Amino acid sequence: MLHAIARMLDPLLRLLWSSPPGRHRPPCARTLPVRPLPEPGPGPAPEPYLRGEDSPLVRPYFLAHERRQAEAEARRQRGRRRALWFAVHGVDLGPRVIHGREVAA
């Protein structure tokens, strides 16, 4: 059975992998002529790449994650502004631990 499969696949493999060019080819009794390939014509113009920002289809969980990050940054900014406002009026609201050391308030 294996010999029959090998005999069926042999011509196909010879078409796909022709013998290498040059003088030092192994002698082969059955070689098929190689046809020249047709010249390629001008193909269709490539389509531009799509960017994620250009697509209206955005997953809602991605938007929710970005919104949460923006809200957290806004919360931190409000805290910094509030601490600065209190510092102007003489009240220290800064962090109690700076670089791993506890500081007096």
**Chain segment 81-96, per-residue pLDDT in tens:** 998 888 888 887 766 7
Inform me whether the pLDDT recorded for 29 exceeds 70: no
DSSP assignment of the chain equals -HHHHHHHHHHHHHHHSPPPSSS-PPP-S--PPPPPPPPP---PPPPPPPPGGG-S---HHHHHHHHHHHHHHHHHHHHHHHHHHHHHTT-----SEETTEE---
Q: How far apart are CA 25 and CA 19, in angstroms?
A: 7
Place of tokens 């390629």: 40
pTM over 0.75? The answer is no
Confidence of residue 102 (pLDDT cuts 50, 70, 90): confident
Contact partners, residue 64, CB within 8 Å, separation at least 6: none
pLDDT at residue 74 tops 70: yes
Q: How much is the mean pLDDT over the chain?
A: 76
Q: pLDDT tens-digit profile of 1-12?
A: 667 887 777 877
